Amino acid sequence: MVQEQNSGNPATAPSAAASGSTTKKDNRSENSIDSNQKTLSDFKKSLIEEQKLGETHIEKIFGSIEETKKIIDEERVKLEAERLKLKQINEVKDADYAKFTELKSNLIEERKRMKTLDTKASSGGPRSRRDKYNLSNLTRALEQIERDIQTKKLSKDEERRLVIKSKEIATRLHALKVIHKKEDTYKSLATKFDDIRGKMNVIFDQKADVGKGIGQIKSNLDELLNRREELYEERRGVIHRVREAGAKIEMVDTQLNAIEFKRNRLQHSSERQRRYSPERKIRHEIPQDKMRKNRENQELWNSLKEVAMKKMSSGEKLTFDEMKLIYAEESD
């Protein structure tokens, strides 16, 4: 009975086959859409996780940068304090160094004068260190010679010898008195020089210590500034990756929207196929003028679709109408 009906209506068997083929095609399309949607959804989840981790990393780096800045500011305050201390030390040094050089010069001059006087004091010939500095003995000897000259009966030679000796002793005595006076001056200068030299040594030691401290602080600052720059560079890299992840998420969202749109179109097409029988489609004829208009519309549609495809390949966000242009042909 079934065979008779088929033989009576030849279009029935091809129509059933065409319907079955369309159903299989729709099923394959639906499975492909589901697979792509799952892949994209999983990829989107991984991108969101990457974005969150990146943002957390950025916050951590920002905290490290702020802490490094704080330490840099503290080190700069220390450096400024050490520089001020060094300035004060230099001011003291400059004030005392002039005194130091002046005393040193005076001390050298006094030493030269003392050597000259000592030479004069020694002009009478060899003498003991005790005679050289014994003013009382020389004074008594001079007085004795003068008495001898005045009281004793002396020959001209003896008197001449005593006069010469008297002059020598007087010269030596004067020189020793001057030497003693100069020695006091020299000792006073030497004491002052030793004091200021000790002070200058302390100042130079302080300068050395402060200079060493400044060098260490500068070294610390160099390390901190390099560390801050490394953190800035690291943060720029993470921000770039986070932005890339955000851009990829937008692209995935565009593709997911396109898949959803394609799914809706496929469902709509399936429903339309069920509503209209194959026999009715065969009987439907398109007039010539409508076919011409359709060809013109098809050319415009192809041009707009090409523009939309270029936007999609470059990662730009598509409008609803542009997604329709891309997926309408496949869905139809």
pLDDT in tens, 143-192: 888 887 788 777 788 878 888 888 887 877 777 777 777 777 777 777 87
Residue range 23-46: mean pLDDT, rounded: 73
3-state SS of the chain is CHHHHHHHCCCHHHHHHHHHHHHHHHHHHHHHHHHHHHHHHHHHHHHHHHHHHHHHHHHHHHHHHHHHHHHHHHHHHHHHHHHHHHHHHHHHHHHHHHHHHHHHHHHHHHHHHHHHHHHHHCCCCCCCHHHHHCHHHHHHHHHHHHHHHHHCCCCHHHHHHHHHHHHHHHHHHHHHHHHHHHHHHHHHHHHHHHHHHHHHHHHHHHHHHHHHHHHHHHHHHHHHHHHHHHHHHHHHHHHHHHHHHHHHHHHHHHHHHHHHHHHHHHHHHHHHHHHCCHHHHHHCCCCHHHHHHHHHHHHHHHHHHHHHHHHHHCCCCCCHHHHHHHHHHHHC
The CATH class of 45-231 is mainly alpha
Q: Quick one: pLDDT at residue 172?
A: 77
Are the CB atoms for 214 and 86 separated by under 8 Å?
yes
pLDDT in tens, 210-247: 999 999 999 999 999 999 999 999 999 999 999 999 99
- Higher per-residue pLDDT: 11 or 80: 80
Residue range 39-66: mean pLDDT, rounded: 92
Instruction: Give the number of C-alpha atoms closer than 13 A to the C-alpha of residue 11, restricted to the C-beta side.
Output: 7
What is the C-alpha separation between 48 and 52, in angstroms, rounded?
6
Encoded tokens for 319: 């409008």
pLDDT in tens, 267-325: 777 776 666 655 455 455 555 556 666 666 677 677 777 777 777 777 677 676 777 66
The DSSP output letter for 276 is S
- Higher per-residue pLDDT: 256 or 58: 58
- Higher per-residue pLDDT: 188 or 1: 188
